[in-house]
Amino acid sequence: MKEKIYTIPVTEAFGVECECPMCVLEKKLEDECIDYILGPSLMEPEGRIETNEKGFCKKHFEKLYNRQQNRLGLGLILETHLTQQNYNIGKLYESKKDAVKKDAEMSMMKNLSSKVSMKKSDTDKMVDNLLEILKELEGKCTVCGKLDHTMERYIDVILYLWFKENDFKTLFNSKKGFCLKHLKDLLEGTKKFLNAKETAIFVSNLMEIQLENLERIREEVSWFTKKFDYRNNDAPWGNSKDAVPRSIQKIVGFCDFS
């Protein structure tokens, strides 16, 4: 297989014995992204603008904190992110504060009248605007955004290599399938990067591998449960001792089990 700089991370991940090579690829990307945010990104204006606007999801805030790598850097990120979000929320409320106070002072009769007419009060409108801001922020994450963008590029590489490099195709087909999250990503990738004929060929191959390995992991979990029957005390575990964490990862992707 001809290695190029953009294929090396993919081939390395597919060389790992695991339930989902794309989880290996994504985990490496995630770790690199966390390191970058707590390091070089702190000194780059574009990086700070992005973290100020987007912040992070719960999962990645936890990872940034638990890394304990640069607590000062994380503090600086939090300070400017909070400054930006406090401004956005405060500006909206201040612009509607007087109208909200008027709504609060309305008589009971007027309040009932407004409900009957189904006309939105200024308070209702302000709440809708606040919810819009908060929901938009909730859906943003600097790390998730970078991961989604880079993983999409790697899916393009995976599909390209599968059709162009027989060595990679053999490697791909020797794997234990993928977690359901990355199965979805691969199927979505066929719509973006393959024509109809290529999609049919690839999906047929992919689903044969996937279904075989989903049944394998189900059988391993089944044997794990049967080992708790005293009649199976002396029977070998086979591959079932760690079947529970592996099956969870098969369903949802990489998990950082403690």
Q: What is the 3-state secondary structure (H, E, C) of the chain?
A: CCCCCCCHHHHHHHCCCCCCHHHHHHHHHHHHHHHHHCCHHHHCHHHHHHHHHHCCCHHHHHHHHHCCCCHHHHHHHHHHHHHHHHHHHHHHHHHHHHHHHHHHCCCHHHHHHHHHCCCCCHHHHHHHHHHHHHHHHHCCCHHHHHHHHHHHHHHHHHHHHHHHCHHHHHHHHCCCCCCHHHHHHHHHHHHHHCCHHHHHHHHHHHHHHHHHHHHHHHHHHHHHHHCCCHHHCCCCCCCCCCHHHHHHHHHHCCCCCC
pLDDT for res 71:
92
Of 78-87, 122-131, 141-150, the range with the lowest mean pLDDT is 122-131
Confidence of residue 227 (pLDDT cuts 50, 70, 90): very high
pLDDT for res 83:
96
pLDDT for res 96:
85
pLDDT for res 112:
55
154-175 average pLDDT score? 97
Is the per-residue pLDDT at 107 higher than 60? no
Confidence of residue 115 (pLDDT cuts 50, 70, 90): low
Is the per-residue pLDDT at 114 higher than 70? no
120-146 average pLDDT score? 92
Confidence of residue 241 (pLDDT cuts 50, 70, 90): very high
pTM attached to this predicted model: 0.85
What percent of the chain lies above the pLDDT cut of 70? 94
Is the per-residue pLDDT at 43 higher than 70? yes
pLDDT for res 102:
82
